[in-house]
Amino acid sequence: MDQQQLKDFMSFNKDGELKIPMAVFEIDERYIISVFQGSLSDFDILIKYKQRINNNWSRIRTPKHIHWAVDILIKLHEDEIKTQAFLDFLLQTWKDTLPIRNREQQEHILNIEMLLQGGQDIIEQYETLNNKGEYSIKFLILLAKLLMIQEKTNMENAFMFKNLLESLREKGDIFSAVSTASHNGR
């Protein structure tokens, strides 16, 4: 699909209003991630995705922390050392991620090359994790970066995403991950 077809495919109605994505990214022919204008502020973003399952596209979904956290737990079970290193990468990415404060920064995140800048080496480094769990590494990196930007834009001193990464990195157990991902704290 070309960009216009992808935007049409990912558009949806909410309260009688058509929501058209500002950007759409197709990942590994299995995922389509869309970025929409959010409603919390001028620079808020809303993230949605579809996943190809058995040659059919899922309904449009809003990613939740618990979804990718469960995937990371599966990856930890299958390859703890590589997944721990991947979590270290995500924690560093968290530290390096800045909130959106102007239109130029917002335009920057609507470009997949900018979002994945330097990420190809990381994707290749952890590609063996693609076969473990539900999500590919490229999808997880892009989704994580967008979620980090979203969280920091809406509350610059936010910490939920970071706490979840730390919980997965330090403990790697289901209870801690689910508790943190579902906003119940530690």
pLDDT in tens, 71-116: 999 999 999 999 999 999 999 999 998 899 998 888 888 888 777 7
Q: Count the domains in the chain.
A: 1
Confidence of residue 186 (pLDDT cuts 50, 70, 90): very low
In a domain, 186, yes or no: no
pLDDT reported for residue 172: 65
In a domain, 150, yes or no: yes
Please state, in angstroms and rounded to a whole number, the distance separating the CA atoms of residues 95 and 100.
15
Lowest mean pLDDT among 30-34, 53-57, 66-70: 66-70
Range of the domain at 154: 3-181
pLDDT reported for residue 17: 93
**pLDDT above 80: residue 127:** yes
Average of per-residue pLDDT across 138-158: 89
In a domain, 69, yes or no: yes
pTM for the predicted model, two decimal places: 0.89
**pLDDT above 90: residue 132:** yes
Tokens (6 digits) for 72: 């990371």
Q: Concatenated DSSP letters for 96-154? A: H-----SHHHHHHHT-HHHHTTTHHHHHHHTGGGGGSSSS-HHHHHHHHHHHHHHHHHH
Contact between 103 and 157 under an 8 Å Cβ cutoff? The reply is no
pLDDT reported for residue 106: 87
Buried b (16+ CB within 10 A) or exposed e, 127-144: eebbebbebbbbbbbbbb
